[in-house]
Structure 1
Amino acid sequence: MGILEEAHNLKIIGSGERVIVLAHGFGTDQSVWKHLVPHLIDDFRILLFDNMGAGPTNPDFFDFSRYATLDGYAFDVLAILEELRIGSCIFVGHSVSAIIGAIASVSRPDLFDKIIMISASPRYLNDLDYYGGFEQEDLDQLFEAMRSNYESWCSGFAPLAVGGDMESLAVQEFSRTLFNMRPDIALSIAQTIFGSDYRNLLSHITVPCHVIQSMKDLAVPVVVSEYIHQNLGGESIVEVMSTEGHLPQLSSPDVVVPVLLRHIRLDIVL
């Protein structure tokens, strides 16, 4: 096993000519796709990996300067595709990974047949004429809570993000993957994500995009999905699901899996 495979816990499963890349968001790992994978395995080759800094990755590999922007993660995606000699893929990105995939697609659009964005946001901070859902004071409080008592923050953040109580299996699963992250790395990644602004990138994205969003999401207001749709440089469609929470593929798989399967198989016709 090469360094890249080991660092990202790369896994290719399934059969078929088309490749689907499943990329997870903050606080999770590749296990977040457990409800979707069984529905793809007979028809597609599936590439699963862990973003650097996720719980199952070796924290010694985490470079704080490289991952101070999302570009570092985008370089990782391109390196993985090159290493595995994947000439084209359907990229399914959850949360921050939707933007990471978009960044990667700007420099290498030939590698991406389409990008399916779930719970994506180009900017989390509110701005003039833009509603991202957070004020700077909100983020400062979030970072301070992570810094002062990470375990306590995880316990409080998980049910808010997922949209359920602590008895929920989805909340317990997200709590587990959050706890698995090293606290200083988790804080650094959170600061990178919540401090990012990729609105100007949207017009440079030419790969077809499917923008999928929960009706109610603590981290991403539903208006953000329409903002992305209106500002993308290429073809796009948007679908708002009747789900709640930022991790609908984990909390509402009965709703989300059929939606994702439809978008995976759907080519945009405008």
Structure 2
Amino acid sequence: MGIVEEAHNVKLLGSGEQTIVLAHGFGTDQSVWKHLVPHLVDDNRVILYDNMGAGTTNPDYFDFDRYTTLEGYAYDVIAILEELQVQSCVFVGHSVSAIIGAIASISRPDLFTKIVMISASPRYLNDADYYGGFEQEELDQLFQAMQSNYKAWCSGFAPLAVGGDMESVAVQEFSRTLFNMRPDIALSVAQTIFQSDLRHLLCHVVVPCHIIQSMKDLAVPVVVAEFLHQNLGGESIVEVMSTDGHLPQLSSPDVVIPVLLRHIRYNISV
């Protein structure tokens, strides 16, 4: 196993001609794909990995300078694919990883057959002619809460993000992976994500994109999915599901898994 693979806890599962990469979002790790993986491994080569900073990665490897922009994560994706000698893949990215995959595809479009985006946003802050869902004051309060008492913040944020009560398995699972992050790293990652504005890069993304979105999502309003569709440089398609929450693959797998499988298997033109 190479250095990059080891650092990101890369797992290779299944076999087949097509390679599918599953990339998790903020506060989770590769375990967020546990409901999807069994449906893919019989016919596909599946690559799972953890973003640097996830609770499952070595915090000593987290470079605060490198990861002040999402480009740092995009370079990681390319490094993983190169180390595994992947010629092309279907990249399934949840939340921030959908945008990370899009950034990676700008410099290496050859590596990506298509990108399946779940709960993706190029900008979380509202702007004059753009609704991202958050005002700066709200984000400042969020960062302050993370800084003052991380464990308490996790307990409050998890049910809001997942869209369920504390008793639900999905909320408990997200709480676990969120709390596994080192608090100072979690704050840094959250600031990078929530303060990012990647709208100007969307026109350079020419790889086909499948945009999948929950009807109700604390972090990403439905209009953001339409904004992505209108502004991406290549072909794209949007599907809004009747699900609630930012982690629908965890909270509503019965609804989401068939949708994901359909978008992974079929191209936009079909």
Query: With structure 1 as the length reference, what TM-score do the two structures score?
Result: 0.99
Match of 2:103 in 1: 103
Match of 1:30 in 2: 30
Measured after TM superposition, the shift of residue 2 of structure 1 is 2.3
Instruction: Report the Cα distance in structure 2 between the residues aligned to 1:77 and 1:147, rounded to whole angstroms.
Output: 29
**Other structure's SS at 1:215 match:** strand
Q: Per-residue CA shift, 1:194-227, capped at 9, x if unaligned?
A: 0000001111100000000000000000000000
**Other structure's SS at 2:43 match:** coil
Give the AA of the match of 1:11. K
Give the AA of the match of 1:119. S
Structure-to-structure mapping, 1:33-182, within 5 angstroms: 33-182=33-182
Judge conservation of contact 2:22–2:33 (CA < 8 Å) in 1: yes
**Other structure's SS at 1:240 match:** strand
Measured after TM superposition, the shift of residue 86 of structure 1 is 0.1
Instruction: Report the Cα distance in structure 1 between the residues aligned to 2:230 and 2:245, rounded to whole angstroms.
Output: 23
Match of 1:207 in 2: 207
Instruction: Report the Cα distance in structure 2 between the residues aligned to 1:24 and 1:256, rounded to whole angstroms.
Output: 15
Give the AA of the match of 2:59. P
Give the AA of the match of 1:45. R
Query: With structure 2 as the length reference, what TM-score do the two structures score?
Result: 0.99
Judge conservation of contact 2:2–2:83 (CA < 8 Å) in 1: no
Which residues of structure 1 form unaligned runs of 5+? Answer: none
Instruction: Report the Cα distance in structure 2 between the residues aligned to 1:26 and 1:136, rounded to whole angstroms.
Output: 19
Judge conservation of contact 2:89–2:112 (CA < 8 Å) in 1: yes
**Other structure's SS at 2:115 match:** strand
For these two proteins, the number of residue pairs brought into alignment is: 270
% same residue: 82
Give the AA of the match of 2:143. F
* CA RMSD, 1 decimal: 0.6
Give the AA of the match of 1:96. V
Deviant stretches of 4+, over 3 Å = none
Instruction: Report the Cα distance in structure 2 between the residues aligned to 1:5 and 1:204, rounded to whole angstroms.
Output: 28
Match of 2:236 in 1: 236
Judge conservation of contact 2:202–2:231 (CA < 8 Å) in 1: yes
Which residues of structure 2 form unaligned runs of 5+? Answer: none
